[in-house]
Structure 1
Amino acid sequence: MSKAQDARNLALSSTEASVLDYVVQHRDELLQLLSDLIAIPTPNPPGDDYKAFCDFTADWLRAAGLEVKVMAAAEESLADMLRPEAEGQRYAVLACLKGTGGHPTLCLQGHYDTVPASGDWEIDPYDPQVVDGKLYGLGSTDMKGGLACMMMAAKALAHEKVPLRGDLYFLTTPDEEFPSGAGLAYFLDHGIVEADFAVVGEPSGIDNIHIGMKGGIWGDIVVHGKAVHGSRPFEGVNAFEKMVSVASAIQARLYPLLAERTSKFDFHPAQGNHPTLTLGGLVSGTNASRATVPDTCRVSFDRRLIPEEDLDEAEAELVSFLKGLEKEDRDLSLEIRLSSRAPAMVIPDSCELVEALSGAIGDLSGAEPTRTVSCGGFETALFVDRGVQALTYGPGVEGCAHAAGEHTLVGDLAFATRVYALTALRILS
Structure 2
Amino acid sequence: MDPTAAKNFVEGQLRYEEVRRLLIKLVQTPSPQTELLEEEPKVLSLIREIVKPELQKSGIEPVIDDKGNLIARLPGKGAAKRLLLVAYAMSAAPSTMQNPYSGALVDGAPYGLQGECVWGRGACEQKGSLAAMMSALKALAESKAEPPGDLYFVVSAAGETGRHDSLAYVLDHGKVEADWGIIDGPPEIQLGNKGRVDILVTVKGKQAHSSRPWEGINAVEGAMKVLEKLKPLMPYPSDRAHPELGKVSLTPTAVESFPKATHTIQSECRMVFDRRLLPGDDPAEAIQQLETAIGNLDPFKVEVQKKDSMYPSEVSKEADVVKSLSRAIQVMLGREPKFSYSTAANDTGLLNARGIQAINYGSRDIRFQHTDHDLVSVNSVFEAAKVFAFMALQR
- After superposition, the CA RMSD in angstroms is 2.6
Tell me by how many angstroms 1:305 deviates. Answer: 0.9
1-side partners of 2:336 and 2:280: how far apart? Answer: 26
Q: Deviations over 1:107-158 (max 9, x none)?
A: 21112123433x21211x2221122233221221231211110111123334
Query: Are positions 1:334 and 2:305 aligned together?
Result: no
Q: For residues 26-425 of structure 1, what are the structure 2 equivalents within 5 Å?
A: 26-45=15-34, 46=36, 47-49=40-42, 50-51=44-45, 53-65=47-59, 67-73=60-66, 90-117=67-94, 119-123=95-99, 125-133=100-108, 134-178=117-161, 183-201=166-184, 203-204=185-186, 206=187, 208-251=188-231, 253-255=232-234, 258=237, 260-264=239-243, 266-267=244-245, 273-279=246-252, 281-322=253-294, 324=295, 326=296, 329-365=297-333, 367-425=335-393
Q: Deviations over 1:371-415 (max 9, x none)?
A: 333211222233223221211111122243344442222231111
Is the Cα–Cα contact under 8 Å of residues 310 and 343 in structure 1 kept in the other structure?
A: no
Query: What amino acid maps onto 1:114 in structure 2?
Result: S
What runs of 5+ residues in structure 2 fail to find an aligned partner?
109-116
Q: Deviations over 1:346-369 (max 9, x none)?
A: 223211111111222234555433
Q: Deviations over 1:157-187 (max 9, x none)?
A: 3455545321222221213433789722212
Q: Which range moved further: 143-152 or 129-138?
A: 129-138
1-side partners of 2:313 and 2:259: how far apart? Answer: 40
1-side partners of 2:165 and 2:309: how far apart? Answer: 18
2-side partners of 1:56 and 1:221: how far apart? Answer: 41
Query: What amino acid maps onto 1:13 in structure 2?
Result: T
What runs of 5+ residues in structure 1 fail to find an aligned partner?
1-10, 74-89, 268-272
Task: Tell me the equivalent position of 2:10.
Answer: 19
Is the Cα–Cα contact under 8 Å of residues 195 and 276 in structure 2 kept in the other structure?
A: yes
Task: Tell me the equivalent position of 1:81.
Answer: none
2-side partners of 1:172 and 1:315: how far apart? Answer: 32
2-side partners of 1:13 and 1:366: how far apart? Answer: 13
Q: How many matched pairs? A: 381
Tell me by how many angstroms 1:423 deviates. Answer: 2.2
Question: Residues 181 and 364 (structure 1 numbering): CA distance in 2 closer, same or farther, change over 3 Å?
Answer: closer
Query: What amino acid maps onto 2:56 in structure 1?
Result: R
Is the Cα–Cα contact under 8 Å of residues 68 and 94 in structure 1 kept in the other structure?
A: no
1-side partners of 2:269 and 2:387: how far apart? Answer: 49
Query: What amino acid maps onto 1:16 in structure 2?
Result: K
Query: What amino acid maps onto 1:250 in structure 2?
Result: L
TM-score (norm 1): 0.80
Query: What amino acid maps onto 1:69 in structure 2?
Result: P
Is the Cα–Cα contact under 8 Å of residues 227 and 292 in structure 1 kept in the other structure?
A: yes
TM-score (norm 2): 0.87
Question: Residues 381 and 259 (structure 1 numbering): CA distance in 2 closer, same or farther, change over 3 Å?
Answer: closer
Amino-acid identity (%): 30
